[in-house]
C-alpha cells in the first residue's frame, strides 16, 4: 500500500541531497517533499487503516519515520543555516560545537530507547509503535514538526528524530571540517578512493556489530548508525539496512559469526606459518 510512495520519495530526496549545493534551498525543497509525502501517507492510513497490529507497527516503525526523519533533518538544517554566524571562523566553529552538544544531550536523554532500537529489540513495539490509547507512553509533540496525534504512535516521532540527528551530525561534521582545514578534507577524499569493501555486506555488518559490542570506538560511545556511516564513507559502500541484516545474521542456522571466525582463523594461520 505504501511501497510506491516510499520508492518515489527515496528517488526524489536522493536527488535533492546529491544535486543541490545551497544548503538553505536544499532544506526548503526537502521540507516540501517530506510534507507532501507525509500527507499522502496520512490520507492512505485514514482511508484504509491497518489490517493487523504487525502492519501498524511496521508502518510507524519503518515506513513513516523515513520521510519524517528527513523532515526533521531538513528543518534542523534550515534553522542551522539561518542562525549560524555569517562571518568569523571562530564564531562559526563555536556555533557548530554548541549544536553538537545539543545533539549529544538529546541522545543522552533518550539512551534507553536508542539502545532498544539499535539492539533490534521488539518486545515492546506494541507500545512504542501503535496508536493504542491504553499504552503507558503518551504522545509527546515536537515543536515545528509535522503534528497529527491521530497519525502518530507514542515513539515514531522520537525514532524519526534519532535517525534525523544522525544525518545532522554528518552535516555539522562536514561544516566544521571545511572551517578547520582543507588538508583534512583532501586527506579524507584521497583516503576514500583507495579502499573498497569487496567482501559481502553481511560480513561488514558482523564487523560493525562486533566493534560496537566490544566498545572499541569512541570509548564505547559510537552507536551502530555512526559506525555504519563511517564504514560507508571509508569503504565507498552503501549499507542498505544494517538492522535487518543483523536480524538475518541472528536467524542463521549455522554460525552467527562466520566472517569474524574466518578472520580469526586466517590470522592465526598466517601467524603460525610465519613462526614456522
pLDDT score, position 183:
40
**What pTM, to 2 d.p., does this model score?**
0.65
The region, left, alpha or beta by phi > 0 then psi within -120 to 50, assigned to residue 215 is left
Q: Tell me what pLDDT residue 179 has.
A: 81
The per-residue pLDDT for 153 is 86
SS (H, E, C) the chain: CCHHHHHHHHHHHHHHHHHCCCHHHHHHHHHHHHHHHHHHHHHHHHHHCCCCHHHHHHHHHHHCHHHHHHHHHHHHHHHHHHHCCCCCHHHHHHHHHHHHHHHHHHHHHCHHHHHHHHCCCCCCHHHHCCCCCCCCCCCCCCCCCCCCHHHCCCCHHHHHHHHHHHHHHHHHHHHHHHHHCHHHHHHHHHHHHHCCCCCCHHHHHHHHHHHHHHCCCHHHCCCHHHHHHHHHHHHCCCCCCHHHHHHHHHCCCCCCCHHHHHHHHHHHHHHHHHHC
pLDDT value, residue 226: 81
Query: 170: closest CA among 80, 62, 241, 60?
Result: 80
Where is average pLDDT lowest: 44-58, 62-76, 132-146? 132-146
Q: How confident is the model at residue 195 (pLDDT cuts 50, 70, 90)?
A: confident
- Percent over 70 (pLDDT), the chain: 87
Is 68 or 142 the better-scoring residue by pLDDT? 68
Q: In the prediction, which pLDDT does 137 show?
A: 47
Residue 182 pLDDT: 45
Per-residue pLDDT, 221: 66
Distance, CA of 192 to CA of 194 (rounded, Å)? 6
Closest C-alpha among 116, 119, 118, 120 to residue 154: 116
Arithmetic mean of pLDDT over the chain? 83
The answer on pLDDT for 33 being more than 90 is yes
pLDDT at residue 154, as a whole number:
85
Specify the pLDDT at position 194: 61
What pLDDT, on a 0 to 100 scale, did the predictor assign at position 77? 92
pLDDT of 197 reads 82
Say what the pLDDT of residue 199 is: 84
Residues 115-138: tens digit of each pLDDT: 888 788 889 999 999 887 544 444
- Structure confidence at residue 141 (pLDDT): 40
CA-CA-CA-CA dihedral for 164, 235, 209, 204, to nearest 10: 130
Dihedral of alpha carbons 122, 123, 128, 129, sign: positive
Cell 509533540: give the residue. Answer: 141
Over residues 207-252, the pLDDT tens digits come to 999 998 888 876 676 778 888 888 887 777 788 788 888 989 999 8
Helix pair 201-214, 242-250: axis angle to 10 deg: 90
pLDDT in the model for residue 185: 42
pLDDT of amino acid 140? 44
19, with CB counted inside 10 A (0-12, 13-18, 19+), is exposed
Predicted pLDDT at 138: 45
Cβ neighbours around 167 below 10 Å, total: 18
- Residue 18 corresponds to which cell in the numbers above? 546529491
Amino acid at each position: 500500500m505504501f511501497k510506491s510512495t516510499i520508492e518515489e520519495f527515496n528517488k526524489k530526496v536522493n536527488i535533492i541531497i546529491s544535486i543541490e549545493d545551497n544548503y538553505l534551498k536544499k532544506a526548503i525543497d526537502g521540507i516540501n517533499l517530506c510534507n507532501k509525502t507525509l500527507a499522502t501517507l496520512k490520507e492512505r492510513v485514514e482511508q484504509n487503516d491497518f489490517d493487523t497490529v504487525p502492519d501498524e507497527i511496521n508502518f510507524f516503525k519503518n515506513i513513516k519515520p523515513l520521510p519524517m526523519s528527513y523532515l526533521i533533518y531538513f528543518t534542523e538544517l534550515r534553522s542551522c543555516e539561518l542562525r549560524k554566524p555569517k562571518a568569523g571562523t571562530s564564531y562559526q566553529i563555536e556555533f557548530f560545537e554548541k549544536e553538537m552538544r545539543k545533539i549529544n544531550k538529546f541522545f543522552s536523554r533518550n539512551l534507553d530507547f536508542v539502545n532498544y532500537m539499535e539492539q533490534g529489540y521488539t518486545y515492546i513495539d506494541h507500545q512504542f509503535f501503535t496508536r493504542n490509547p491504553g499504552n503507558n507512553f503518551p504522545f509527546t509533540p515536537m515543536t515545528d514538526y509535522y503534528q497529527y496525534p491521530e497519525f502518530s504512535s507514542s515513539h515514531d516521532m522520537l525514532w524519526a528524530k534519532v535517525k534525523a540527528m544522525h544525518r545532522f551530525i554528518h552535516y555539522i561534521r562536514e561544516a566544521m571540517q571545511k572551517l578547520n582545514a582543507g588538508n583534512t578534507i583532501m586527506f579524507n577524499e584521497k583516503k576514500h578512493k583507495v579502499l573498497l569493501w569487496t567482501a559481502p555486506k553481511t560480513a561488514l555488518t558482523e564487523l560493525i556489530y562486533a566493534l560496537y559490542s566490544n566498545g572499541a570506538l569512541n570509548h564505547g560511545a559510537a552507536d551502530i548508525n555512526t559506525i555504519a556511516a563511517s564504514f560507508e564513507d571509508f569503504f565507498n559502500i552503501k549499507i542498505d539496512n544494517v538492522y535487518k541484516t543483523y536480524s538475518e545474521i541472528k536467524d542463521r542456522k549455522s554460525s552467527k559469526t562466520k566472517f569474524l571466525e574466518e578472520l580469526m582463523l586466517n590470522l592465526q594461520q598466517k601467524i603460525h606459518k610465519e613462526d614456522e
